[in-house]
Amino acid sequence: ETSENVTVETLLKSYDSIVEKLETVQVTIPYETITKDVSNNDSNKRETVVQKGKDGLKEVTYKVKYQNDVEIERTEISSNIIEEPVDKIIEIRKTITNRSTRSSSVSYSNGVWTYSSEEFDLLCAITAQECSSSYQGALAVITTACNRAESSRWAKMVQIH
């Protein structure tokens, strides 16, 4: 039979008072990723981020009990969402490799590219989509590129009808 020697000091420590404290912390709420397949099961697919995800934030208050400076219990007493997370949305789309309009298509002849106004509009729309920008932003980028190019050289290379 073994017996442990218990000192008065050890015995008193086991009866030390329990201290309760309130602790408030901010916790990240991770965003979720949602994938939507709109490719109609086409074999040529690509993923496009339609909406970027953003983590949320919540504030959590705990009642924490300590004995001898050691945490012995933690209870959540309240939580408050400061900012909701924003889901990341990915669309799986059919890859379009060739596109022409009903009236005509982009042509290249004698060193000159020719676009109809519909095709130029399509170029702006594609640029906006690929750059995650607005149509007006894409139009501004394309217009700036046209204006900054050497005007005589640009006039020889592109014609918009």
Structural domain boundaries of the chain? 8-91, 98-160
CATH homologous superfamily of 8-91 equals: Resuscitation-promoting factor rpfb. (2.20.230.10)
pLDDT tens-place string over residues 63-110? 999 988 899 999 999 999 999 999 999 988 877 655 544 555 666 666
Q: What pLDDT score was predicted for residue 127?
A: 78
Among the listed residues 30, 29, 31, 21, the one whose alpha carbon sits nearest the alpha carbon of residue 79: 29
Instruction: Indicate yes or no: pTM above 0.85.
Output: no
DSSP 27-84: EEE---EEEEE-STT-SSEEEEEEE--B-EEEEEEEEEEEETTEEEEEEEEEEEEEE-
Mean pLDDT of the region 51-65: 96
